[in-house]
Amino acid sequence: MNEITIDLTKMNFPDSTEALFTDEDLVLKHKNFIFAKNGSGKSTLADFIKEHKSQEYEVHVFKGFESVLGENMKLNAFALAVDAVDNEHQIKQLEEDRAVEEAKRKYSAELLNPEPAGSKENLFAMQARSQKNLEDKVSELNKFYIDSAKHIKNKNNPPIIYPPNYNKNNFKRDISKESLLQEVERSRLELLLKSEATTSVKIDFNNANYEKHVEAVNEIIQSKVTEKVKISRLNTQQKINFAQDGLHIHREDETEICVFCGSDVLPSAIEELESYFSTNEVKELQARIKNGQRQIEREIKKLDDLQIDSISFYPQFIGEVEEETKNIYAQKDELYEFWREIKKSLEEKERNLFSEMDQLKYTLPDGINTSVFNGLVEKNNRFADNLMSEQQEARDKLLYHEIAILLNQKNYDIMLNDKIHAEKQFNKVKEEFDKEGINLSEIVKRIEIIGDKVRSLQPKAERQAIERINNKLHYNVPWELDYFEDEDSGYYHVKQGVRYRGVTELSTGEKNIIAFLYFIEKLEAVQTDSIKRKDKIIIFDDPMNSNDSTMQYLIITELLNLYQGKDRKKFIPDKDFMIVLTHNVHFYLNVQPHGNYKDKNGKTKYDKNNFYRIESRKFKKISTLKDDIQTSYASLWVELKDLYECGHKNSMLNAMRRIIETYIKFNSLGQTDFYKGNAQYLKLFNVNSHSIDDLSAETFAEDTEQMKELFSNIFKDNGAEAHFNSYWCN
């Protein structure tokens, strides 16, 4: 099997039925490289594959040292195992549970006395105090509900929004619907309440059969009149046209002198030419030409008569209507050009009846597409039909907007959280108070059971794995793994010279490389001969953490060796599957197969492996080197476009500032010259004018489209419009 398919429709957001990704499935080859920023669902995807593919495959997932390296703070040492973290957490929890139970046993004597023991507050007093605090918070909230409902009922601007019998129960019911409106939307809704029903008219335009028109014109221009009377001096088309024009002139003017040579015009010459040009065949061809010209004039008049009325549309449709009007007028211009061209061909044929012209090779126009405009007409008219319900919806939205304002003004979230916290405190105290009758002998028994569980969860030593890890670390770090206490211990610490370092002294990068190398070693573990070997799915979820450059390249080297099949006990390239998920551009560019050369069958690494980039909940398949990320700078643009599509303004602004900072440094530009003194540029983009807090918390009025336009303009003002278009449109 060269591919496996992951059904993404079953992969939902946590606590939701909505699909996490918009794709229906994800196709995986034996080697897969997926680039995605943090928060895009990488870890959820890894968990999903493990959950749904473990029956068919042997699935291994590496998520950093947290999934492999278990920290024992009591010993200041660490354990290594696939389930080490869970075991250590359980051990720690069991130890804490034991201590808690022992403390409860000592304290239980005090619980039997309703009076405090000395100056120490007991549970009876704690319960009374927490109950009084809860009652105060409930009373504060009720007063807010009553005052807010009264404010809404008495508000008279505009009175149409708020029901006169509005009370605190109505307000509490509507809190879940609160929604703060943008000023533009609020104005639109108020305008909608003043609107009266109006309808628009569809465009009725029938496109001609452009192909048949071209065929008919080609038939005419490729026809020619065969001479019935031979006049030897008329031996070229130019002479024929000259003679025809001369005959027409002398018929109109009735002159007897040739305007060209000044000789007498003989009646016999007139008769001869009239006979030459008045045959039925000539008249028939001329008639066909005239008929074709009349048809073309009718089609041009149809275009002239096509006018679009956008005045009768409601405000929310105006933008789309204007855009579609531009499209239709562009189609009109294309048709005008088409008719002019074929009309020009007929006029030329009129002057060349006795010769055959070349066939027209004109690209057929698409015609006028009115479906989108007429669809907007239908939407507009349906809106008119439903105006009363739309206005009621507008009233509701304005009401919920007013509720949102009140909630913000009175810090409702804080009041509600205080009440919830007080309620939790009261319930917690009451629950603890209710446990005063716990049997002390059961506590002792539980402590003994906990001790047995701790001993069963303690790790076992793995000598061979430790030796191999030390061999790989030997030329990269000045330390090695060593056993804590003795070689039978399942716990380890780091030996550096004559000094030992415990787990609390290890950096995140050191923990990560130890866990990573252990995970690689454990891939070699084989199943017993009695069980048929399952193909593996090996997933690396952001395997590179805060390691230094040496560790980064050690990790990259290990992964290259793994997927190249240099140790087939760990990975068989034509049977097993490997997935590398990362948000690190440098790592992504270096961990994949290098180069873009083609093999003897003309295939590149993009044909043999799958490359994806997760953008806006969608897997974008990378098929060529041109589509792939080339630099860290390019990744900033990828991130910016994704934030733009998701509508995240503050995050967009941060990405824009990082791009500008990189661009200015790379091109050795001065900030003063780059910003041109423009106030909007300085307000939004000047990194040096903002503190760290400003970058995430600054408020500004521009929406995402306006921010994009400003961002485009600052590059255009600096003569770098092509640079912007290259990265934005890529």
DSSP string, 564-608: TTSSTTT--TTT-EEEEEES-HHHHHHHSPP-----TTS--HHHH
* Mean local confidence (pLDDT), 30-40: 90
Q: Which of 49, 70, 69, 66 is nearest to 58 (CA)?
A: 49
Residue 216: the pLDDT is 84
Regarding beta strands 610-615 and 58-62, do their DSSP bridges make them parallel or antiparallel, or are they unpaired?
unpaired
Regarding beta strands 480-483 and 618-622, do their DSSP bridges make them parallel or antiparallel, or are they unpaired?
unpaired
* Mean local confidence (pLDDT), 642-664: 82
Residue 244: the pLDDT is 62
Name the DSSP letter for residue 120. Answer: B
Residue type, 625: L
Residue 421: the pLDDT is 92
691 pLDDT higher than 50: no
User: 148 or 636, which is more confident?
Assistant: 148
> Is residue 152 within 8 Å of residue 399, measured between CB atoms?
yes
**Measured distance CA(367)–CA(301) in Å, rounded:** 15
On whether the 4-81+459-622 domain is CATH 3.40.50.300, my answer is: yes
Cα 174 to Cα 110, 168, 170, 399: the distances in Å are 47, 10, 6, 9
Residue 97's pLDDT band (boundaries 50, 70, 90)?
low
Query: Residue 489 forms beta bridges with which residues?
Result: 460
- Per mean pLDDT, which range of 15-19, 73-77, 145-149 is the poorest? 73-77
Please identify which residue in the block is written with the tokens 């040292």: 65
* Mean local confidence (pLDDT), 530-542: 82
Please identify which residue in the block is written with the tokens 């670390």: 473
**Measured distance CA(448)–CA(592) in Å, rounded:** 52
Instruction: Sort 679 into a burial class: Cβ within 10 Å, 0-12 / 13-18 / 19+.
Output: exposed
31 pLDDT higher than 90: yes
Angle between helices 315-350 and 210-221 (to 10 degrees): 10
Regarding beta strands 58-62 and 4-7, do their DSSP bridges make them parallel or antiparallel, or are they unpaired?
unpaired
**Measured distance CA(375)–CA(202) in Å, rounded:** 9
559 alpha-carbon distance from chain centroid = 29
User: 541 or 658, which is more confident?
Assistant: 541
* Mean local confidence (pLDDT), 528-546: 76
- DSSP alpha helix (H) spans, 182-265: 183-193, 210-221, 237-253
Residue 692's pLDDT band (boundaries 50, 70, 90)?
very low
* Mean local confidence (pLDDT), 526-546: 74
**DSSP code string of 373-436:** HHHHHHHHHHHHHTHHHHHHHHHHHHHHHHHHHHHHHTTHHHHHHHHHHHHHHHHHHHHHHHTT
* Mean local confidence (pLDDT), 67-74: 66
Residue 5: the pLDDT is 93
Number of Cβ atoms within 10 Å of the Cβ of 55: 8
Residue type, 264: D
Residue 580: the pLDDT is 95
Residue 539: the pLDDT is 93
Q: Which of the residue ranges 141-150, 209-218, 583-592 has the most confident prediction, judged by mean pLDDT?
A: 141-150
Residue 646 belongs to what H/E stretch?
helix 632-646
**Measured distance CA(114)–CA(101) in Å, rounded:** 21
- What tens digit of pLDDT does each residue of 317-326 get? 888 888 998 9
> Is residue 540 within 8 Å of residue 581, measured between CB atoms?
yes
Residue type, 700: F
Number of Cβ atoms within 10 Å of the Cβ of 644: 21
Q: Which of the residue ranges 215-224, 358-367, 662-671, 708-717 has the most confident prediction, judged by mean pLDDT?
A: 708-717
**Measured distance CA(339)–CA(299) in Å, rounded:** 8
Residue type, 206: N
Task: Compute φ and ψ for 371, nearest 5 degrees.
Answer: -65, -40
Is the Cα torsion angle 582, 587, 589, 590 positive or negative in sign? negative
- DSSP alpha helix (H) spans, 226-370: 237-253, 267-277, 280-305, 315-350
Residue 695: the pLDDT is 42
Number of Cβ atoms within 10 Å of the Cβ of 552: 20
Is the Cα torsion angle 87, 92, 98, 101 positive or negative in sign? negative
Q: Where are the domains of the chain?
A: 4-81+459-622, 123-197+384-425, 210-383, 632-729
Cα 509 to Cα 408, 506, 547, 548: the distances in Å are 43, 8, 4, 7
* Mean local confidence (pLDDT), 678-700: 60
**Measured distance CA(198)–CA(305) in Å, rounded:** 24
Q: Which of the residue ranges 30-39, 525-534, 660-669 has the most confident prediction, judged by mean pLDDT?
A: 30-39
- What tens digit of pLDDT does each residue of 411-453 get? 888 988 988 998 888 888 888 777 755 554 455 566 566 665 5
- Peptide bond between residue 267 and the one before it cis (omega within 30 degrees of 0): no
525 pLDDT higher than 50: yes
C-alpha gyration radius of the chain: 41
28 pLDDT higher than 90: yes
Residue 434: the pLDDT is 74
Q: Which residues contact 297 (CB under 8 A, 6 or more apart)?
A: none
Residue 546: the pLDDT is 57
pTM over the 0.85 mark: no
Residue 459: the pLDDT is 46
User: 511 or 424, which is more confident?
Assistant: 424
Residue 7's pLDDT band (boundaries 50, 70, 90)?
very high
With H, G, I as helix, E, B as strand and everything else as coil, classify residue 682: helix
**Measured distance CA(348)–CA(358) in Å, rounded:** 11
- Per mean pLDDT, which range of 301-310, 519-528, 655-664 is the poorest? 519-528
Regarding beta strands 577-582 and 536-541, do their DSSP bridges make them parallel or antiparallel, or are they unpaired?
parallel
Q: Give the chain's mean pLDDT.
A: 78
Residue 515's pLDDT band (boundaries 50, 70, 90)?
confident
